[in-house]
């Protein structure tokens, strides 16, 4: 009986160890594409990104916890001349903040974590924003080099997946996991802002 119990214990321990923990170092390897979806036996596989409001709330909370003051969400920043952009969260006292770059690829690519911005990857500038004028016309502004006190958050990095099957979801990058990864990334940037 003890031998049977020991075998069962070792088997369950081995199974739990075989399920690798999802971290910010390995989460891209957990992305499921169309071929994976077919093999999963689920009706739906959805890929989503953290919302602007979630990102803004987390930034505000993390900046406040790190000691930054006079915080504002969605502050308009004059970068240079007539170039204005929207900061998703900004500290007027410490003069640092975050810009949200909303573009993303169809399939997440780990190499984008090393890039300053998606615009820099494909174009020859750090950031662009579309400005709508009162008459309905529009123009694009381009920021060749983002000032060092503004960090670009690439929405492309903060994806998660869900299915209708709770058991299958355990092997996916969940909203909770990607939120924790986002918080870890933000804390690293906030430390660099303080140095």
Q: What is the DSSP string of 131-184?
A: EE-TTS-EEEEEESS--TTEEEEEGGG-EEEEES-HHHHTTS--HHHHHHHHHH
How crowded is the C-beta side of 78, counted as CA atoms within 13 Å? 3
* DSSP assigned state of 100: E
Amino acid 160: pLDDT: 96
Report the SS3 class of residue 74. strand
Report residue 119's pLDDT band, with 50, 70 and 90 as the boundaries: confident
- The Cα–Cα gap between 179 and 24 comes to 10
- As a whole number, the mean pLDDT across the chain is 87
- For the segment 51-59, the average pLDDT, to the nearest whole number, is 96
What confidence tens digit (pLDDT) does each residue in 72-108 have?
A: 999 999 998 888 999 999 999 999 999 999 887 788 8
């Amino acid at each position: 009986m003890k031998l049977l119990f020991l075998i069962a214990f070792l088997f369950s321990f081995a199974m739990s160890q075989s399920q690798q923990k999802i971290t910010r170092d390995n989460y891209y390897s957990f992305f499921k594409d169309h071929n994976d979806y077919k093999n999963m036996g689920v009706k739906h596989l959805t890929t989503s990104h953290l919302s602007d409001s979630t990102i803004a709330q987390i930034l505000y909370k993390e900046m406040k916890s790190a000691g930054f003051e006079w915080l504002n969400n969605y502050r308009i920043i004059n970068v240079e001349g007539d170039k204005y952009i929207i900061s998703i969260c900004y500290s007027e006292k410490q003069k640092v903040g975050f810009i949200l770059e909303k573009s993303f690829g169809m399939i997440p690519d780990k190499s984008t974590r090393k890039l300053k911005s998606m615009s820099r990857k494909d174009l020859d500038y750090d950031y662009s924003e579309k400005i709508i004028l009162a008459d309905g016309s529009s123009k694009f502004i381009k920021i060749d080099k983002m000032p060092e006190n503004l960090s670009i958050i690439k929405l492309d990095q903060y994806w998660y997946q869900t299915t209708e099957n709770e058991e299958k979801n355990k092997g996916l990058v969940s909203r909770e996991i990607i939120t924790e990864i986002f918080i870890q990334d933000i804390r690293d940037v906030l430390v660099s802002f303080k140095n």
